[in-house]
Structure 1
Amino acid sequence: MTRSFLTRRRFLIGSTLGASALTLSGCDILEQNTAVASVIRSAENLTMKAQRLLQGRDALGREFTETDISPSFRVNGTSAPDSEDYVELAEGKFANWRLKIDGLVDRPQELSLIDLKRLPARTQITRHDCVEGWSAIGKWTGVPLGPVLSSVGLRPNARFAVFHCADKLEKTLDGSGRYYESIDLIDAFHPQTILAYQMNGKDLTVGHGAPLRLRVERQLGYKQAKYIMRIEIVDSFAGLWGGHGGFWEDRGYEWYAGI
């Protein structure tokens, strides 16, 4: 994908984001038309398959050097979840935080931040591309997601990893306003897909997703879920709010946001 194509794509998606931010109660009129939405989703699926065919499943996203790290890295999305539970965890420096992993697994687990930091880590310097039109390069350290999922015993019908987060972008009774994201197991086991707990050599700040955020380096910024509380392994998105696999996807965005 060329840089100019990516720029145009960001503009188009970013324009949608601006509209959605103003009217978070629903999707675009076209997205409300089932037939049109079906065509859009089919085209997205073809795009995903084409990109993976051209790039290869394990092709790495570009990595940079220490000298390339951006002097400032904007906070994307929520700057601080305001729920009582999260505030209490943050005040305790996340000592009582636990990452719950469940769903279609044989051995559900709850891992502390200390547990995760004891696992083999990966550090990568990559560029974050936001749909709002800005980019920044940061150094991320965390545990590769693939081995974590392998340790819980994925069942044969497992297809997607869903990341349930602590932040809410809408105050809704049914929970649909809580941020969540998902990737398939191909991306989950990609070598650059990590559960990051450090940025630029320091523990994540609240603004950047403390205590844990996803880095899936071959996709756009809204896929990089922050404030992760739970990873649920599922075989479909049918039981997840809008049914499209993510907060913004339920509001018309592409599920596969490859770059």
Structure 2
Amino acid sequence: MTSTGRSKAEHGRERRRLLRAALATAAGGVLAGCDRLSHDERAVRVLGSAEALTREVQRRLTGPALAQEFSPADIAPVFRSNGTTLPGGGYAALARDGFANWRLRVEGLVERPAAFTLAQLRAMPSRTQITRHDCVEGWSCIGQWTGVPLSHVLQLVGAKPQARYVVFHCMDVMTEGDYRVPYYESTDMDEALHPQTLLAWGLNGGALPIENGAPLRARIERQLGYKQPKYLHRVELVDSFAALGRGHGGYWEDLGYNWYGGI
């Protein structure tokens, strides 16, 4: 990820520092010790080990609850972009043709692997919702998203019983030090089947802009911004993360973020 006047490596280090500070605050509940703990590798590991407990507690408290939705008056005039704003490789050629040659492959632990065009996805039952995007860097933005519920697509392909996670593979390639990998993220089946979890192709009444993830991005509304991957081209159902990246379920998770980004 990049930001004005700062290198990608510097920005990555700052993101990890922010996350560690957030971990320390959430687990310890003491702001005064937050910065000190965020620089202690052992403390970060200990606090991160509480992630499963945090996830279970939140699930028990919220169950199938919906993320807050807002009114049209709350929509930001411009939805802030984050992370990559224009992938390299063959992305530009796909965009020039209006993504006519783009396909979303859905595979892995499914009964009927499939590849969908953008037109096919837009023709599926859709949902529109106005929600707030909360970034780990400390900013928020409200936008109106339109897309097909991920649960509908999973029903079409037939998720197998052993599938535990849905992995989103993206077209933007990320680099952090010597770690270079296409961006990827994941969620569990509970969030994948949640009614507000969308494969979104529209933003604020129009087509999804390139800087916001065209042609398709995931919206997992009860999770932080890094769990909302952009530039999707493949969805994979798996039973573990062992064969993915460094095995933690996401690009930023491989670099120290919590896998569960619930809000």
| TM-score (normalised: structure 1) | 0.84
Any idea what SS the aligned residue of 1:229 has?
strand
* Paired letter, 2:254: D
**SS at 1:166's partner residue?**
strand
Alpha-carbon separation, structure 2, partners of 1:46 and 1:147: 30
Whether contact under 8 Å (2:107, 2:113) holds in the other structure is yes
The answer to whether structure 1 residue 63 and structure 2 residue 74 are counterparts is: no
For residues 130-209 of structure 1, what are the structure 2 equivalents within 5 Å?
130-170=135-175, 176-209=180-213
Partner of 1:251: 255
Aligned to 1:9: none
CA shift for structure 1 position 172: 9.1
Query: 2:93 aligned with 1:82, yes or no?
Result: no
The corresponding residue for 2:102 is: 97
**Whole-angstrom CA distance in 2 between matches of 1:63 and 1:36:** 33
- Change in CA separation of 1:141 and 1:89 when aligned onto 2, cut-off 3 Å: same
Report the 3-state secondary structure (helix = DSSP H, G, I; strand = E; otherwise coil) of the residue aligned with 2:154. Answer: helix
2:133/2:142 contact within 8 Å kept: yes
Segments of 5+ residues of structure 1 without an aligned counterpart are 1-13, 21-27
Q: How far apart, in 1, do the equivalents of 2:50 and 2:100 lie?
A: 44
Q: Deviations over 1:120-144 (max 9, x none)?
A: 0000000000111111100000000
Residue of structure 2 in register with 1:17 after alignment: 15
The structural deviation recorded for 1:86 is 1.0
Partner amino acid for 2:248? H
Rounded Cα–Cα distance in structure 1 between residues aligned with 2:72 and 2:226: 24
Give the distance between the partners of 1:230 and 1:15, measured in 2 at CA.
28
Deviations 1:5-46 (A, max 9, x none): xxxxxxxxx9751659xxxxxxx9866x7x974x44430010
Residue matched to 1:113: 118
Asked if 1:45 is matched to 2:49, the reply is no
**Aligned residue identity for 1:67:** A
**How far apart in 2 are the matches of 1:111 and 1:177?**
24
Letter of the structure 1 residue corresponding to residue 87 of structure 2: P
AA of the residue aligned to 2:119: I
Gapped runs of 5+ residues in structure 2?
1-11, 19-37
SS for the counterpart of 1:183 is strand
In the aligned structure 1, how far is the partner of 2:214 from the partner of 2:40?
A: 36
Q: Displacement, 1:241? A: 1.2
* C-alpha distance after superposition, 1:69-92 (max 9, x if no partner): 012221111011011x21110111
Q: Distance in 2 between matches of 1:30 and 1:206?
A: 38
Matches of 2:83 and 2:75, distance apart in 1: 21
Give the TM-score of the pair, scaled to structure 2: 0.83
Residue 177 of structure 1, CA deviation:
2.2
Amino acid at match of 1:200: N
Residue deviations 1:191-214 (CA, integer Å, cap 9, x gap): 000000000000011100000000
Shift of 1:157: 0.8
Letter in 2 for 1:212: L
Residues 1:173 and 1:232: Cα distance change in structure 2 (over 3 Å): farther
Check 1:30–1:184 CA distance in 2 against 1; reply closer, same or farther (3 A cut).
Answer: farther
| DSSP-derived class of the 2:15 partner | helix
Instruction: Please give the alpha-carbon distance, in whole angstroms, between the structure 1 residues aligned to 2:195 and 2:51.
Output: 24
Shift of 1:98: 0.2
Q: Which amino acid aligns with 2:221?
A: E
> What do you get for the CA RMSD once the two structures are aligned?
2.2
- Alpha-carbon distance between aligned partners in 2 of 1:91 and 1:219, rounded to the nearest angstrom: 32
Greater mean alpha carbon deviation, residues 39-48 or residues 114-123: 39-48
